[in-house]
Amino acid sequence: MTFLVEKTADLFESVLGTRPSGVWSAPGRVNLIGEHTDYNEGFAMPLAINRRTAVAAALRDDRRIRVTSSFDSALVEIEIDDISADTVSGWSAYPLGVVWALRQVAASPESLCGVDLVIDSDVPVGAGLSSSAALECAVAVALNDLWQMGLSTMELARIGQKAENDIVGAPTGLMDQIASMHGRADHAVLIDCQALTATPVALGFAASDLVLLVIDTTVRHSHATGGYKDRRASCERACEALGVPSLRSVTESDLPRAQSILDAETYRRVRHVVTENARVLATGAAIAVDGPRAVGELLNASHVSMRDDYEISIPELDCAVEAAQNAGAVGARMTGGGFGGAAIALVSTHLMDEVTEAVLADFAHRGFARPEIFAVSAADGARRDY
């Protein structure tokens, strides 16, 4: 049992007075490449990371859900049938949203019994590492087992997304939940968001003396409001104007036609999505043929595209990426939805301290808050731990 799993089981016992019947956990993720492509039915290549959210759980003999966590000691209680976007709020909307989404697909919703859920996590919240998907997926695997629903990992990923879209109110895609459900140690997951397939891609970072650094700017963001929604809406408008079902149908050779039809800003949004899809596939091919050091230029180009075409970067993310590149990183880019959160830098192991120092120095020089910098490794997806 890992430290987190034990701690979560102990917290369950100290709050509720009995041992849980099990502990389940699911990881956060970083996206190696393929940003804002998921809701455009494109390609993405995230990896699940060695930071997890754990849920200790036990069935009840009534129809109440009770949920609490290490980060908020309030015990939220609600009847299964009363959960809706209007009755839940705050962090508990994520686990309760999963209960709601599972109830929607249950063969006999009236026979589901209540559950006690106690949550702990070492995934930083709001850092762009999908703490929300980790929470949703941990609860989804736990309830899938306890309620014996027999749903597949892809179905559970969709349950997590449904909770986030319909109960939390964030119009996010499916990448984070697929990464959290399908992650594998030392592998990224190549996702085809149209076919809904998840294929493991061996990364071999350690064997190539590489380490993946996360640079959390500590600038927090929310995808329920603002820029994320706007970007999604402009992609939908572009599809209408171009007469395509999704931007997946648009390729680089279609770009001149798109430019002649769309306004300049919408065109830049489309160009990001189309070139990003191509970069994801090129990344997969580069790793397979030449190894992970060959992906540096693709990561760098992805960042430029997000900064200039999709316009979702912020000065702190640009600073992190440039400082890492200048200090000798193989490649660097912002990761996740943008407007805050984290960047990643792929770095030779012997340069790790130098890159870290260089990023800290540039942040201090620019007057930005001190970033959190740490290495992550690719980890296994959601599972029962105990």
Tell me how far, at minimum, the Cβ of 37 lies from ligand GLA, in Å.
6
Identify whether 176 is a catalytic site residue. yes
Number of H helices, E strands in the chain: 11, 12
- The residues that bridge with 190 in the sheet, in sequence order, are 199
317-376: contacts with ligand GLA (CB under 6 A): 336-337
Query: In this structure, are residues 342 and 129 in contact, taking their beta carbons and an 8 Å threshold?
Result: yes
Query: In this structure, are residues 384 and 22 in contact, taking their beta carbons and an 8 Å threshold?
Result: yes
176 binds ligand GLA (CB under 6 A): yes
20-39: contacts with ligand GLA (CB under 6 A): 31, 35-36, 38-39
Smaller CB separation from ligand GLA, 38 or 309: 38
310 binds ligand GLA (CB under 6 A): no
Label residue 149 exposed, middle or buried (CB < 10 Å: 0-12, 13-18, 19+): middle
Select the span of 47-55, 56-64, 98-106, 171-179 touching ligand GLA (CB under 6 A): 171-179
Residues near ligand GLA (CB under 6 A), total: 12
Tell me how far, at minimum, the Cβ of 374 lies from ligand GLA, in Å.
19
Q: Which residues contact 176 (CB under 8 A, 6 or more apart)?
A: 29, 46, 130, 132, 133, 160
Smaller CB separation from ligand GLA, 44 or 379: 44
Smaller CB separation from ligand GLA, 223 or 269: 223
From start to end of the chain, where are the E strands?
Answer: 22-33, 43-59, 64-69, 72-79, 115-121, 187-192, 197-202, 210-216, 331-335, 342-348, 372-376, 383-384
Tell me how far, at minimum, the Cβ of 36 lies from ligand GLA, in Å.
5
Select the span of 57-65, 72-80, 169-177, 204-212 touching ligand GLA (CB under 6 A): 169-177
Smaller CB separation from ligand GLA, 32 or 175: 175
Task: Tokens for 376, please give them.
Answer: 């992550």
Query: In this structure, are residues 276 and 305 in contact, taking their beta carbons and an 8 Å threshold?
Result: yes
User: What is the spatial distance between Cα 277 and Cα 268, in angstroms, rounded to a whole number?
Assistant: 14
**Interaction mask 37-76, ligand GLA, x per CB under 6 A:** -xx-------------------------------------
Tell me how far, at minimum, the Cβ of 115 lies from ligand GLA, in Å.
25
What does the angle CA 166 – CA 248 – CA 137 come to, to the nearest 5 degrees?
Answer: 35
Tell me how far, at minimum, the Cβ of 148 lies from ligand GLA, in Å.
29
Torsion on CA atoms 362, 367, 369, 375, rounded to nearest 10 = 0
In terms of Cα–Cα distance, which of 69, 95, 96, 75 is closest to 84?
96
Smaller CB separation from ligand GLA, 20 or 173: 173
Select the span of 51-59, 167-175, 183-191, 299-307 touching ligand GLA (CB under 6 A): 167-175
Identified catalytic residue from 38, 116, 120, 176? 176
Tell me how far, at minimum, the Cβ of 161 lies from ligand GLA, in Å.
8
Smaller CB separation from ligand GLA, 222 or 377: 222
Distance between first and last Cα of the chain? 7
Q: 305 vs 246, 277, 299, 361, CA distance in Å?
A: 20, 12, 10, 26
- Point out which residues bind ligand GLA (CB under 6 A): 31, 35-36, 38-39, 172-173, 175-176, 223, 336-337
Catalytic residues: 176
